Structure 1
Amino acid sequence: MTRQPDWLVGGDRHQLAVERIHAAAAELIARGGMGGLNIDQVAAQAGCARATVYRYVGGKSALREAVLTGATARIAQTIQRSVAPLDGAERVTQAILGALTAVRADPVAVAFLNASTPQEIDGFLAGNPRLADAAVELTGIATADPAAGQWIVRVVLSLLFWPATDPATERALVERFVVPNFAA
Protein backbone atom coordinates (compact mmCIF):
# COMPACT_ATOMS: atom_id res chain seq x y z
CA MET A 1 0.00 0.00 0.00
CA THR A 2 1.39 3.36 -1.04
CA ARG A 3 1.08 6.09 1.52
CA GLN A 4 -0.25 9.42 0.19
CA PRO A 5 1.59 12.61 1.14
CA ASP A 6 0.01 14.79 3.80
CA TRP A 7 -2.06 17.42 2.00
CA LEU A 8 -1.60 19.95 4.82
CA VAL A 9 2.17 20.14 5.09
CA GLY A 10 3.85 23.50 5.49
CA GLY A 11 1.98 25.54 8.06
CA ASP A 12 -0.98 25.72 10.38
CA ARG A 13 -3.04 22.63 9.50
CA HIS A 14 -6.41 24.19 10.26
CA GLN A 15 -5.72 27.35 8.25
CA LEU A 16 -4.28 25.37 5.34
CA ALA A 17 -7.29 23.05 5.28
CA VAL A 18 -9.75 25.93 5.30
CA GLU A 19 -7.86 27.81 2.58
CA ARG A 20 -7.59 24.73 0.38
CA ILE A 21 -11.27 23.84 0.79
CA HIS A 22 -12.37 27.42 0.12
CA ALA A 23 -10.17 27.59 -2.98
CA ALA A 24 -11.63 24.32 -4.27
CA ALA A 25 -15.18 25.55 -3.70
CA ALA A 26 -14.43 28.89 -5.37
CA GLU A 27 -13.02 27.12 -8.42
CA LEU A 28 -16.06 24.85 -8.66
CA ILE A 29 -18.45 27.81 -8.26
CA ALA A 30 -16.59 29.75 -10.94
CA ARG A 31 -16.84 26.78 -13.33
CA GLY A 32 -20.34 25.54 -12.58
CA GLY A 33 -22.19 28.26 -10.73
CA MET A 34 -23.67 28.30 -7.25
CA GLY A 35 -26.22 25.59 -7.93
CA GLY A 36 -23.48 23.11 -8.72
CA LEU A 37 -21.71 23.43 -5.38
CA ASN A 38 -21.48 19.90 -4.04
CA ILE A 39 -19.57 18.79 -0.93
CA ASP A 40 -18.33 15.60 -2.59
CA GLN A 41 -16.93 17.58 -5.52
CA VAL A 42 -15.35 20.12 -3.17
CA ALA A 43 -13.68 17.30 -1.24
CA ALA A 44 -12.39 15.70 -4.44
CA GLN A 45 -11.12 19.05 -5.75
CA ALA A 46 -9.38 19.82 -2.43
CA GLY A 47 -7.94 16.30 -2.15
CA CYS A 48 -9.60 15.42 1.13
CA ALA A 49 -12.51 13.42 2.50
CA ARG A 50 -16.08 14.68 2.69
CA ALA A 51 -15.89 14.56 6.49
CA THR A 52 -12.85 16.84 6.38
CA VAL A 53 -14.86 19.50 4.56
CA TYR A 54 -17.55 19.37 7.24
CA ARG A 55 -15.01 19.38 10.05
CA TYR A 56 -13.08 22.39 8.81
CA VAL A 57 -15.69 24.60 7.13
CA GLY A 58 -19.13 23.21 7.93
CA GLY A 59 -21.83 22.37 5.45
CA LYS A 60 -22.72 23.68 2.04
CA SER A 61 -24.36 26.86 3.35
CA ALA A 62 -21.36 27.83 5.49
CA LEU A 63 -18.98 27.02 2.65
CA ARG A 64 -21.00 29.08 0.18
CA GLU A 65 -21.10 32.07 2.55
CA ALA A 66 -17.36 31.86 3.23
CA VAL A 67 -16.53 31.78 -0.48
CA LEU A 68 -18.83 34.75 -1.14
CA THR A 69 -17.33 36.65 1.78
CA GLY A 70 -13.87 35.99 0.35
CA ALA A 71 -14.93 37.28 -3.06
CA THR A 72 -16.43 40.37 -1.45
CA ALA A 73 -13.20 41.02 0.45
CA ARG A 74 -11.10 40.67 -2.73
CA ILE A 75 -13.38 43.08 -4.56
CA ALA A 76 -13.24 45.59 -1.70
CA GLN A 77 -9.42 45.43 -1.66
CA THR A 78 -9.32 46.10 -5.39
CA ILE A 79 -11.61 49.10 -5.01
CA GLN A 80 -9.64 50.37 -2.00
CA ARG A 81 -6.40 50.37 -4.00
CA SER A 82 -8.03 52.27 -6.87
CA VAL A 83 -9.61 54.99 -4.68
CA ALA A 84 -6.83 55.46 -2.11
CA PRO A 85 -5.34 58.62 -3.64
CA LEU A 86 -8.74 60.13 -4.54
CA ASP A 87 -11.33 62.20 -2.75
CA GLY A 88 -14.58 64.03 -3.46
CA ALA A 89 -16.45 63.46 -6.69
CA GLU A 90 -13.67 61.48 -8.34
CA ARG A 91 -13.49 59.05 -5.40
CA VAL A 92 -17.25 58.43 -5.45
CA THR A 93 -17.17 57.90 -9.21
CA GLN A 94 -14.12 55.63 -9.13
CA ALA A 95 -15.46 53.57 -6.22
CA ILE A 96 -18.68 52.81 -8.09
CA LEU A 97 -17.07 52.21 -11.48
CA GLY A 98 -14.26 50.23 -9.84
CA ALA A 99 -16.84 48.06 -8.10
CA LEU A 100 -18.50 47.33 -11.43
CA THR A 101 -15.19 46.36 -13.00
CA ALA A 102 -14.08 44.23 -10.03
CA VAL A 103 -17.39 42.38 -9.70
CA ARG A 104 -17.57 41.70 -13.43
CA ALA A 105 -14.03 40.28 -13.31
CA ASP A 106 -14.58 38.01 -10.28
CA PRO A 107 -15.82 34.56 -11.33
CA VAL A 108 -17.38 33.82 -7.92
CA ALA A 109 -19.27 37.13 -7.87
CA VAL A 110 -20.50 36.57 -11.43
CA ALA A 111 -21.64 33.04 -10.57
CA PHE A 112 -23.48 34.32 -7.50
CA LEU A 113 -25.23 37.11 -9.38
CA ASN A 114 -26.17 34.84 -12.28
CA ALA A 115 -27.64 32.08 -10.12
CA SER A 116 -29.20 33.88 -7.17
CA THR A 117 -32.76 34.89 -6.51
CA PRO A 118 -33.61 38.52 -5.83
CA GLN A 119 -34.14 37.59 -2.18
CA GLU A 120 -30.63 36.11 -1.92
CA ILE A 121 -29.11 39.16 -3.57
CA ASP A 122 -31.06 41.44 -1.26
CA GLY A 123 -30.01 39.50 1.83
CA PHE A 124 -26.34 39.07 1.02
CA LEU A 125 -25.71 42.34 -0.82
CA ALA A 126 -28.36 45.05 -0.89
CA GLY A 127 -29.58 44.53 2.66
CA ASN A 128 -26.20 43.77 4.21
CA PRO A 129 -25.25 46.53 6.69
CA ARG A 130 -21.54 45.60 6.55
CA LEU A 131 -21.53 46.02 2.79
CA ALA A 132 -23.34 49.35 3.13
CA ASP A 133 -20.70 50.49 5.65
CA ALA A 134 -17.96 49.40 3.23
CA ALA A 135 -19.64 51.37 0.43
CA VAL A 136 -19.61 54.51 2.59
CA GLU A 137 -15.94 53.99 3.44
CA LEU A 138 -14.86 53.19 -0.12
CA THR A 139 -16.68 56.14 -1.65
CA GLY A 140 -15.43 58.44 1.09
CA ILE A 141 -18.83 60.01 1.58
CA ALA A 142 -19.35 61.80 4.88
CA THR A 143 -22.75 60.81 6.19
CA ALA A 144 -24.44 59.56 9.31
CA ASP A 145 -27.31 58.18 7.24
CA PRO A 146 -27.05 54.37 6.99
CA ALA A 147 -29.30 54.41 3.93
CA ALA A 148 -26.58 56.17 1.93
CA GLY A 149 -24.38 53.08 1.84
CA GLN A 150 -27.33 50.88 0.89
CA TRP A 151 -28.13 53.29 -1.93
CA ILE A 152 -24.56 53.06 -3.27
CA VAL A 153 -24.77 49.24 -3.17
CA ARG A 154 -28.09 49.35 -5.01
CA VAL A 155 -26.64 51.70 -7.66
CA VAL A 156 -23.83 49.20 -8.28
CA LEU A 157 -26.29 46.29 -8.41
CA SER A 158 -28.52 48.19 -10.82
CA LEU A 159 -25.64 48.79 -13.20
CA LEU A 160 -24.53 45.16 -12.89
CA PHE A 161 -27.94 43.81 -13.81
CA TRP A 162 -28.85 46.55 -16.28
CA PRO A 163 -25.54 47.89 -17.60
CA ALA A 164 -25.36 50.95 -19.77
CA THR A 165 -24.34 50.55 -23.38
CA ASP A 166 -20.68 51.28 -22.65
CA PRO A 167 -18.33 52.37 -19.84
CA ALA A 168 -18.48 56.04 -20.85
CA THR A 169 -22.25 56.04 -20.48
CA GLU A 170 -22.00 54.34 -17.07
CA ARG A 171 -19.52 57.01 -15.98
CA ALA A 172 -21.80 59.78 -17.22
CA LEU A 173 -24.78 58.31 -15.35
CA VAL A 174 -22.81 58.01 -12.11
CA GLU A 175 -21.38 61.51 -12.44
CA ARG A 176 -24.74 63.08 -13.24
CA PHE A 177 -27.14 61.24 -10.96
CA VAL A 178 -25.13 59.77 -8.06
CA VAL A 179 -22.14 61.99 -7.42
CA PRO A 180 -24.11 65.22 -6.83
CA ASN A 181 -25.92 63.53 -3.95
CA PHE A 182 -22.78 62.24 -2.21
CA ALA A 183 -19.63 64.16 -3.12
CA ALA A 184 -18.62 66.87 -0.70
Structure 2
Amino acid sequence: MGSRRADDWLVGRDRHSEAAERIYAAAADLMAQHGFEAFSIDALAAAVHCSPATIYRHTGGKTAIRDAVVGRQAERILASVREAIDGLTGSERVVTATTVALQRLRADPLAQIMRSMTTLPGNDWLTESPVVTRFADEMVGGAADPLASQWLIRTFLALWYWPVKDAEAEKEMVRRYLAPGYSA
Protein backbone atom coordinates (compact mmCIF):
# COMPACT_ATOMS: atom_id res chain seq x y z
CA MET A 1 0.00 0.00 0.00
CA GLY A 2 2.22 2.85 1.16
CA SER A 3 5.90 2.12 0.88
CA ARG A 4 8.19 4.95 1.94
CA ARG A 5 10.51 6.29 -0.69
CA ALA A 6 14.20 6.32 0.24
CA ASP A 7 14.59 9.88 -1.05
CA ASP A 8 11.65 11.29 0.92
CA TRP A 9 13.24 13.96 3.12
CA LEU A 10 10.31 13.96 5.52
CA VAL A 11 10.89 10.31 6.38
CA GLY A 12 13.69 9.23 8.65
CA ARG A 13 14.97 8.84 12.16
CA ASP A 14 15.29 12.56 12.89
CA ARG A 15 12.59 13.89 10.64
CA HIS A 16 12.28 17.27 12.35
CA SER A 17 16.01 18.12 12.20
CA GLU A 18 16.40 16.93 8.63
CA ALA A 19 13.36 18.89 7.52
CA ALA A 20 14.54 22.04 9.31
CA GLU A 21 18.02 21.81 7.80
CA ARG A 22 16.64 21.37 4.29
CA ILE A 23 14.23 24.28 4.79
CA TYR A 24 16.96 26.59 6.16
CA ALA A 25 19.29 25.76 3.27
CA ALA A 26 16.56 26.53 0.73
CA ALA A 27 15.63 29.72 2.61
CA ALA A 28 19.25 30.90 2.51
CA ASP A 29 19.35 30.28 -1.24
CA LEU A 30 16.08 32.13 -1.83
CA MET A 31 17.15 35.08 0.33
CA ALA A 32 20.51 35.30 -1.44
CA GLN A 33 18.81 35.24 -4.85
CA HIS A 34 15.86 37.55 -4.23
CA GLY A 35 16.40 39.39 -0.93
CA PHE A 36 14.59 39.04 2.35
CA GLU A 37 11.70 41.31 1.47
CA ALA A 38 10.83 39.16 -1.57
CA PHE A 39 11.23 35.97 0.45
CA SER A 40 7.94 34.26 1.34
CA ILE A 41 6.83 31.09 3.06
CA ASP A 42 4.87 30.09 -0.07
CA ALA A 43 7.98 30.42 -2.28
CA LEU A 44 10.01 28.45 0.26
CA ALA A 45 7.37 25.71 0.41
CA ALA A 46 7.43 25.45 -3.38
CA ALA A 47 11.24 25.28 -3.38
CA VAL A 48 11.34 22.38 -0.92
CA HIS A 49 8.22 20.67 -2.28
CA CYS A 50 6.10 20.78 0.84
CA SER A 51 3.19 22.74 2.23
CA PRO A 52 3.49 26.06 4.08
CA ALA A 53 2.15 24.23 7.15
CA THR A 54 5.19 21.94 7.03
CA ILE A 55 7.46 25.01 6.95
CA TYR A 56 5.76 26.51 10.00
CA ARG A 57 5.76 23.19 11.86
CA HIS A 58 9.49 22.59 11.39
CA THR A 59 10.95 26.11 11.40
CA GLY A 60 8.41 28.74 12.39
CA GLY A 61 7.59 31.85 10.44
CA LYS A 62 9.59 34.26 8.34
CA THR A 63 11.33 35.96 11.28
CA ALA A 64 12.32 32.66 12.91
CA ILE A 65 13.69 31.42 9.59
CA ARG A 66 15.65 34.65 9.06
CA ASP A 67 17.15 34.35 12.55
CA ALA A 68 18.09 30.71 12.00
CA VAL A 69 19.68 31.47 8.61
CA VAL A 70 21.62 34.36 10.17
CA GLY A 71 22.71 32.08 13.01
CA ARG A 72 24.00 29.43 10.63
CA GLN A 73 25.80 32.02 8.55
CA ALA A 74 27.30 33.60 11.67
CA GLU A 75 28.55 30.20 12.83
CA ARG A 76 30.36 29.62 9.52
CA ILE A 77 31.99 33.05 9.70
CA LEU A 78 32.73 32.64 13.39
CA ALA A 79 34.54 29.36 12.73
CA SER A 80 36.95 31.09 10.34
CA VAL A 81 37.41 33.99 12.77
CA ARG A 82 38.09 31.60 15.66
CA GLU A 83 40.80 29.97 13.62
CA ALA A 84 42.37 33.35 12.83
CA ILE A 85 42.36 34.58 16.45
CA ASP A 86 43.47 31.34 18.08
CA GLY A 87 46.07 32.29 20.67
CA LEU A 88 45.58 36.05 20.31
CA THR A 89 44.51 38.29 23.20
CA GLY A 90 43.57 41.89 23.85
CA SER A 91 43.65 44.43 21.07
CA GLU A 92 45.32 42.14 18.49
CA ARG A 93 42.47 39.67 18.98
CA VAL A 94 39.86 42.37 18.27
CA VAL A 95 41.78 43.76 15.26
CA THR A 96 42.14 40.34 13.68
CA ALA A 97 38.57 39.28 14.49
CA THR A 98 37.18 42.50 13.02
CA THR A 99 39.20 42.44 9.81
CA VAL A 100 38.67 38.71 9.14
CA ALA A 101 34.92 38.94 9.85
CA LEU A 102 34.61 41.96 7.54
CA GLN A 103 36.41 40.07 4.75
CA ARG A 104 34.11 37.04 5.13
CA LEU A 105 30.92 39.09 5.30
CA ARG A 106 31.83 41.23 2.31
CA ALA A 107 32.38 38.08 0.24
CA ASP A 108 29.03 36.50 1.21
CA PRO A 109 26.04 37.32 -1.05
CA LEU A 110 23.52 36.56 1.69
CA ALA A 111 25.33 38.91 4.06
CA GLN A 112 25.03 41.70 1.51
CA ILE A 113 21.27 41.24 1.39
CA MET A 114 21.07 41.20 5.19
CA ARG A 115 23.15 44.38 5.31
CA SER A 116 20.62 46.17 3.16
CA MET A 117 17.83 44.96 5.47
CA THR A 118 19.39 46.61 8.52
CA THR A 119 19.55 50.10 7.02
CA LEU A 120 15.80 50.56 7.17
CA PRO A 121 14.72 53.05 9.88
CA GLY A 122 13.74 51.31 13.11
CA ASN A 123 15.15 47.99 11.94
CA ASP A 124 17.55 47.08 14.75
CA TRP A 125 17.17 43.30 14.70
CA LEU A 126 20.86 42.83 13.85
CA THR A 127 22.20 44.97 16.70
CA GLU A 128 19.78 43.29 19.11
CA SER A 129 20.39 39.76 17.86
CA PRO A 130 21.56 37.30 20.54
CA VAL A 131 23.68 35.59 17.86
CA VAL A 132 25.52 38.82 17.02
CA THR A 133 25.91 39.71 20.70
CA ARG A 134 27.41 36.28 21.50
CA PHE A 135 29.79 36.70 18.57
CA ALA A 136 30.89 40.15 19.82
CA ASP A 137 31.25 38.83 23.38
CA GLU A 138 33.55 36.10 22.12
CA MET A 139 35.61 38.48 20.00
CA VAL A 140 36.30 40.79 22.96
CA GLY A 141 37.30 37.82 25.09
CA GLY A 142 34.17 37.31 27.16
CA ALA A 143 31.02 39.07 28.27
CA ALA A 144 32.58 40.90 31.23
CA ASP A 145 31.53 44.26 29.81
CA PRO A 146 28.36 44.20 27.69
CA LEU A 147 28.99 47.79 26.56
CA ALA A 148 32.31 46.69 25.04
CA SER A 149 30.46 44.12 22.93
CA GLN A 150 27.81 46.63 21.87
CA TRP A 151 30.52 49.15 20.92
CA LEU A 152 32.26 46.50 18.81
CA ILE A 153 28.98 45.62 17.08
CA ARG A 154 28.25 49.23 16.17
CA THR A 155 31.81 49.98 15.06
CA PHE A 156 31.85 46.79 13.01
CA LEU A 157 28.54 47.64 11.35
CA ALA A 158 29.84 51.11 10.46
CA LEU A 159 32.86 49.55 8.76
CA TRP A 160 30.64 47.01 7.03
CA TYR A 161 28.17 49.63 5.77
CA TRP A 162 30.84 52.13 4.74
CA PRO A 163 33.97 50.15 3.88
CA VAL A 164 37.34 51.84 3.54
CA LYS A 165 38.52 51.30 -0.04
CA ASP A 166 42.08 50.39 1.00
CA ALA A 167 42.14 47.22 3.12
CA GLU A 168 45.45 48.15 4.76
CA ALA A 169 44.16 51.60 5.68
CA GLU A 170 41.04 50.02 7.15
CA LYS A 171 43.12 47.60 9.22
CA GLU A 172 45.26 50.49 10.46
CA MET A 173 42.11 52.43 11.45
CA VAL A 174 40.88 49.41 13.40
CA ARG A 175 44.28 49.02 15.05
CA ARG A 176 44.62 52.70 16.02
CA TYR A 177 41.08 53.63 16.96
CA LEU A 178 39.16 50.46 17.88
CA ALA A 179 41.87 48.28 19.42
CA PRO A 180 42.89 50.62 22.30
CA GLY A 181 39.48 50.04 23.89
CA TYR A 182 40.20 46.32 24.08
CA SER A 183 43.79 46.20 25.31
CA ALA A 184 44.67 43.25 27.51
The bucket for the TM-score relative to the shorter chain is 0.7 to 0.9
1:10, distance to aligned residue in structure 2 (A): 5.3
Bigger shift: residues 57-66 or 32-41: 57-66
Preserved CA contact (<8 Å) 1:75 1:102: yes
1:42 maps to what in 2? 44
SS of aligned partner of 1:119: coil
1:143, distance to aligned residue in structure 2 (A): 7.1
**What RMSD over aligned residues (CA atoms) do the two structures have, in Å?**
2.2
Distance 1:16 1:40 in 2: 20
Preserved CA contact (<8 Å) 1:89 1:179: yes
TM-score, normalising length: structure 1: 0.86
- Code of the aligned partner of 2:166: D
1:9-48 alignment to 2 at 5 Å?
Answer: 9=11, 11-48=13-50
- Code of the aligned partner of 2:100: G
- Code of the aligned partner of 2:177: F
Distance 1:133 1:59 in 2: 23
Q: What is the aligned residue count? A: 179
1:126 maps to what in 2? 127
Preserved CA contact (<8 Å) 1:7 1:47: no
Q: Evaluate the alpha carbon distance shift between residue 132 and residue 65 of structure 1 in structure 2; reply closer, same or farther with a 3 A threshold.
A: closer
Residue 93 (1) aligns with residue 95 (2):
yes
1:76, distance to aligned residue in structure 2 (A): 1.9
**CA deviation map 1:1-42 (0-9, x unaligned):** xx9752235541110000000111000001111111111211
Bigger shift: residues 143-152 or 94-103: 143-152
1:118, distance to aligned residue in structure 2 (A): 4.2
Distance 1:54 1:132 in 2: 26
- Code of the aligned partner of 1:64: R
1:107, distance to aligned residue in structure 2 (A): 2.5
1:156-175 alignment to 2 at 5 Å?
Answer: 156-175=156-175
Preserved CA contact (<8 Å) 1:132 1:152: no
Q: Evaluate the alpha carbon distance shift between residue 166 and residue 19 of structure 1 in structure 2; reply closer, same or farther with a 3 A threshold.
A: same
5+ residue gaps, structure 2, are none
Which structure shows the bigger proportion of residues in helix conformation? 1
5+ residue gaps, structure 1, are none
- Code of the aligned partner of 1:119: G
1:128, distance to aligned residue in structure 2 (A): 3.8
1:45, distance to aligned residue in structure 2 (A): 1.4
**CA deviation map 1:145-169 (0-9, x unaligned):** 2110001111110001111121101
Preserved CA contact (<8 Å) 1:133 1:146: no
Preserved CA contact (<8 Å) 1:125 1:153: no
Show structure 1 runs of 4+ deviating over 6 A: none
2:114 maps to what in 1? 112
Distance 1:63 1:143 in 2: 27
